[in-house]
Amino acid sequence: MDPLTSAAASGIRARLESLDMLANNIANASAPGFKADREFYGLYLTAEAADSPFGTSPTALPVIERQWTDFTQGSLTPTGNPLDLALNGQGFFAAQSPNGPVFTRDGSFRLSLKGEIETQDGHKIQGQDGKPVLVDNTRPVEIGSDGTVRQDGQDVAQIAVVNFPDPAALSKRGNNYFRTDISTMPPISGPQAEIHQGKLEAANSQPAESAVRLVNILRQFETLQKALAIGADMNRRAVEEVARVAQ
């Protein structure tokens, strides 16, 4: 494959990956606590290309080296629901799933029949003691900025807010959950974030920005398609010219 065609094909592949990532950001623009994904571009140089003869230009192909999650703060939106909690600052709520602990910024919680605070998927929210937060579901619940849960003026539990030395090591597991190997990177407890009751953190993926990026990617895609067509036409003409000379 000639350098023009290979470079254009690599560019199209990278833009397709960007489109998939951008489509996921747009689809979750209304999901509470959602953190957008971004791409990091690089150039790929094969070992064969690096050993190309002196005086020639090896082909460097554009690729997406990795995706990374943007953990910047989303805006806080009042809801009036006492079980909606938003984090202002760095940190995550900890929940226990059937496959182990998960972490989330989505504070749209509910009460189970037993009075346990849980996520919309039924994962129990953990307290500072590592146990589920249990309340009396017949009485109002007040939650302070430090996570202290009160009923009738009495402290009944404290919701855990944890952080990590390197949030980039967290991996997405769907439904706004993150996971990591806590044996190698245990969470850090502490007041990294304040809890706001009756509010939810909006996604940090802005629809207007995503729409602009989508248009730019589509234009780049069209340009690369034209480059592919030009490369194919050049190859066809080269074959035809060789055939004429051989006659």
Map 85-116 to HEC letters. EEEEECCEEEEEECCEEEEECCCECEECCCCE
Q: What is the pLDDT of residues 175-226, one digit of tens each?
A: 899 998 877 777 876 657 899 999 999 999 888 888 888 888 888 888 888 8
Predicted pLDDT at 154: 94
- Residue 184's domain comprises 76-201
Domain-embedded: residue 239: yes
Q: Residue 13 above 90 pLDDT? A: no
**Mean pLDDT score, 163-186:** 85
Domain-embedded: residue 208: no
Does one domain contain both 99 and 191?
A: yes
Does one domain contain both 87 and 197?
A: yes
Does one domain contain both 98 and 26?
A: no
- Residue 242 token pair: 């060789």
Does one domain contain both 28 and 88?
A: no
Domain-embedded: residue 142: yes
Predicted pLDDT at 33: 94
Query: What's the structural domain count of the chain?
Result: 2
Greater confidence (53 vs 219) lies with: 219
Predicted pLDDT at 229: 83
Q: How far is CA 213 from CA 14, 26, 63, 116, 125, in A?
A: 14, 11, 18, 42, 36
In angstroms, the CA 160 to CA 130 distance is 8
Domain-embedded: residue 214: no
Domain-embedded: residue 212: no
**Mean pLDDT score, 113-136:** 95
Does one domain contain both 28 and 116?
A: no
Does one domain contain both 29 and 84?
A: no
Q: How far is CA 191 from CA 107, 111, 140, 145, in A?
A: 17, 24, 25, 9
In angstroms, the CA 96 to CA 58 distance is 51
